[in-house]
Amino acid sequence: MRDDYIKEALKIISDPNILINVVSRRVKQLKRGNRPLVESLEKLSPEDIALREIIEGKISFELAAAGAS
């Protein structure tokens, strides 16, 4: 994964643990055949694609409230 993408994505999702979870979930989707939501002239790894999607606001996350039923 590119360090510059990680740094930029951490500005959006500041908790590294949440960032890892969001990226890994998206990578699984990409590897299953989901299309990337960003375009790139260079060949990016699925991890870098997921980070770029976060940076560009194409994917987001929601925290579930603790104890919510």
d(CA 64, CA 32): 25
pLDDT in tens, 49-63: 999 999 999 998 887
Cβ-contact 51, 1 below 8 angstroms: yes
21, 8, 34, 36: CA torsion to nearest 10: 180
Residue type, 31: K
- This prediction's pTM: 0.87
pLDDT in tens, 8-64: 999 999 999 999 999 999 999 999 999 999 998 989 999 999 999 999 999 988 877
